[in-house]
């Protein structure tokens, strides 16, 4: 009988023994992947089919959970979760420091690095795990991901402008190293920003094909931050809208249109180098960001009820593509380049002068491109009988001053689509480069 007893006060595992060594007692995530694999597979969601630049999925061998078990390396030249094939689900969180102590910031980044390195590999957040630590201590993992494969989990970290200077204060001794491009985004026409959905000292983007895995990651990183940083805002996304790999089909946004056809793809490394990774720093104070990027996050509410009452002709005019397959209205297939000079009946251009596809096209924006990684969201309803729905826009760019601000300024003024949008959240973060084994996120910033 005793051998069947679960861990209890008399039978709890010892503090100095980790889960992997005690298969009969505590259960690690790895341990359960085999045991409960067939059942757990029903919770996993698809497999990221593509191979990202520098982020080659390493599907666990010999596991019963082939589906959903893509695993991406945490360590590397760049952070994962940028050119990694966009996973299906998102949990994004912005944090504010609640401590002004530089050592607290450094220790937080060290602790986050260790936990992210573990969780992205399908392990518990801490070395003991959800069920195998000291029985009279809080577990170092919260447990809701026990038995779930990582499902392509990536965790990507960023630093907001306020981390460097908050109301002129240099809390952490890093103000001198704030990049010139890392400033609060300007107010754009039509912005209706909610301060509770904007900005933040730090950000974490957790992407996975299983939402429970993404939520587990953010929740555990928030738990680890306790006393040092607290969540400022968080956003779930249920459907990716931009593919970042040619291996992925283009998904649809809540206007019902394919979104991201022209997105930068991992398979275009020269373009990614040019448009996503920060240029070699012109000044030494920004050297810590070499190999990094900038992340623009915008919560874009869509007035879908009004959109839904527009004729198909108007919807297609606004987007500049047809709804069925995403082909530009100038003809061809989804991936055909639009011809903005072609005219149809009455000598009107087939692609309207105000069409979204025209205004955002690189040819109309000095050649700049973004790597977008947005997600559809529905956050309940708005109290007026409508869904609070839209697109959580995420874009990685080498410099927001050249690659985002001019484009958004133009489309906010002229894009026919803007009539159906309201930007309700906004943030900009510097994305430090990847981490080497033994190092920690943003380490060069503190050197």
Segment near its own copies (CB under 8 A); pick from 101-109, 112-120, 126-134, 288-296? 126-134
**Which one, 47 or 53, has the nearer CB to its own copies?**
47
Q: Kindly state whether residue 354 participates in binding its own copies, applying the rule CB under 8 A.
A: no
Site for its own copies, residues 136 to 155, rule: CB under 8 A:
136-139, 141-147
Site for its own copies, residues 62 to 81, rule: CB under 8 A:
67-68
Residue of 37, 141, 150 whose CA lies nearest to 84: 150
Q: Kindly state whether residue 383 participates in binding its own copies, applying the rule CB under 8 A.
A: yes
**Which one, 138 or 280, has the nearer CB to its own copies?**
138
**Which one, 144 or 170, has the nearer CB to its own copies?**
144
**Which one, 10 or 176, has the nearer CB to its own copies?**
10
What is the nearest approach in angstroms of its own copies to the Cβ of residue 7?
Answer: 5
Calculate Rg over the CA atoms of the chain: 23
Q: Kindly state whether residue 33 participates in binding its own copies, applying the rule CB under 8 A.
A: no
**Which one, 39 or 269, has the nearer CB to its own copies?**
39
**Contact track, its own copies, 265-304, x by CB under 8 A:** ---------------------------------------x
**DSSP for residue 32:** H
**Of 30, 102, 165, 252, the one binding its own copies by CB under 8 A:** 252
**Which one, 228 or 361, has the nearer CB to its own copies?**
228
**Contact track, its own copies, 319-338, x by CB under 8 A:** --xxxxx-xxx-xxx-----
Three-class secondary structure assignment of the chain: CHHHCCCCCCCCCCCCCCHHHCCCCCCCHHHHHHHCHHHHCCCCCCCCCCCECCECCCCCCCCCCCCCCCCCCCCCCCCCCCCCCCCCEEEEEEEEECCCCHHHHHHHHHHHHHHHHHHCCCCCCCCCCCCCCCCCCCCCCCCCCCCCCCCCCEEEEEECHHHHCECCECCCCCHHHCCCCCCCCCCCCCECCCHHHCCCCEEEEEEECCHHHHHHHHHHHHHHHCCCEEEEEEEEECEECCCCCCCCCCCECCCCCECCCCCCCCCCHHHHHHHCCCCCCCCHHHHHHCCCEEEEEEEEEECHHHHCCCCHHHHHHHHCECCCCCCECCCCCCCCCCCCCCECHHHCECCCCCCHHHHCCHHHCCCCCCEECCEEEEEEECCCCCEEEEEEEEEEECCHHHHCHHHHHHHHHHCHHHHHEEEEEEEEEEECCCCCCCCCCCHHHHC
**Of 168, 280, 311, 438, the one binding its own copies by CB under 8 A:** 311
**Of 16, 168, 176, 249, the one binding its own copies by CB under 8 A:** 249
**Which one, 261 or 278, has the nearer CB to its own copies?**
261
Number of residues that bind its own copies (CB under 8 A): 112
What is the nearest approach in angstroms of its own copies to the Cβ of residue 118?
Answer: 16
**Contact track, its own copies, 390-419, x by CB under 8 A:** ------------------------------
Task: Judge contact between 120 and 74, C-beta under 8 A.
Answer: yes
**What is the spatial distance between Cα 394 and Cα 298, in angstroms, rounded to a whole number?**
7
Q: Kindly state whether residue 16 participates in binding its own copies, applying the rule CB under 8 A.
A: no
Quickly tell me which residue has 């919807």 as its tokens: 315
**Of 157, 257, 294, 440, the one binding its own copies by CB under 8 A:** 257
Site for its own copies, residues 84 to 103, rule: CB under 8 A:
88-89, 91, 93, 96, 98
**Which one, 55 or 178, has the nearer CB to its own copies?**
55
Q: Kindly state whether residue 30 participates in binding its own copies, applying the rule CB under 8 A.
A: no
**Contact track, its own copies, 206-245, x by CB under 8 A:** ---x-xx--x--xx--xx--x---xxxxxxx-xx------
**Which one, 20 or 170, has the nearer CB to its own copies?**
20
**Which one, 12 or 281, has the nearer CB to its own copies?**
12
């Amino acid at each position: 009988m005793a051998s069947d007893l679960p861990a209890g006060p008399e039978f709890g595992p010892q503090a100095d023994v980790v889960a992997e060594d005690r298969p009969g007692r505590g259960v690690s995530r790895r341990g359960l992947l085999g045991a409960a694999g067939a059942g757990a597979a029903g919770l996993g969601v698809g497999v990221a089919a593509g191979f990202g630049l520098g982020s080659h999925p390493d599907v666990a061998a010999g596991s019963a959970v082939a589906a959903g078990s893509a695993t991406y390396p945490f360590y590397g030249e760049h952070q994962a979760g940028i050119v990694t094939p966009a996973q299906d689900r998102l949990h994004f969180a912005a944090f504010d420091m609640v401590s002004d102590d530089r050592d607290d910031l450094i220790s937080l980044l060290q602790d986050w690095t260790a936990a992210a390195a573990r969780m992205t590999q399908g392990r518990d957040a801490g070395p003991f795990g959800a069920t195998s630590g000291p029985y009279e201590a809080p577990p170092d993992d919260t447990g809701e991901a026990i038995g779930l494969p990582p499902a392509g989990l990536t965790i990507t970290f960023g630093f907001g402008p306020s981390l460097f200077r908050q109301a002129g204060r240099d809390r952490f001794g890093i103000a001198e190293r704030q990049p010139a491009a890392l400033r609060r985004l300007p107010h754009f026409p039509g912005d209706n920003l909610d301060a509770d959905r904007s900005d933040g000292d730090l950000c974490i983007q957790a992407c996975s094909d299983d939402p429970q895995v993404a939520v587990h990651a953010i929740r555990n990183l928030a738990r680890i931050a306790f006393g040092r940083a607290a969540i400022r805002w968080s956003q779930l996304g249920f459907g990716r809208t931009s593919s970042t790999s040619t291996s992925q089909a283009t998904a649809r946004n809540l206007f019902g249109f394919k979104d991201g056809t022209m997105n930068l793809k991992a398979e275009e490394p020269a373009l990614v180098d040019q448009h996503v990774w920060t240029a070699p720093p012109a000044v030494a104070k920004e050297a810590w960001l070499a190999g990094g990027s900038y992340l623009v996050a915008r919560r874009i509410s869509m007035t879908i009820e009004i959109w839904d009452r527009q004729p198909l002709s108007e919807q297609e005019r606004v987007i500049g593509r047809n709804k069925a397959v995403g082909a530009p209205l100038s003809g061809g297939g989804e991936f055909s380049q639009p011809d903005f000079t072609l005219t149809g009946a009455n000598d009107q251009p087939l692609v309207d002068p105000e069409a979204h596809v025209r205004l955002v096209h690189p040819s109309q924006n000095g050649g700049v491109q973004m790597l977008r990684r947005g997600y559809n969201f529905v956050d309940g309803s708005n109290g007026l009988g409508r869904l609070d729905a839209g697109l959580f826009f995420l874009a990685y760019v080498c410099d927001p001053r050249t690659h985002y601000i001019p484009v958004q300024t133009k489309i906010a003024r002229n894009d026919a689509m803007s009539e159906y949008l309201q930007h309700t959240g906004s943030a900009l973060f510097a994305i430090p480069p990847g981490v080497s084994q033994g190092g920690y996120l943003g380490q060069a910033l503190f050197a």
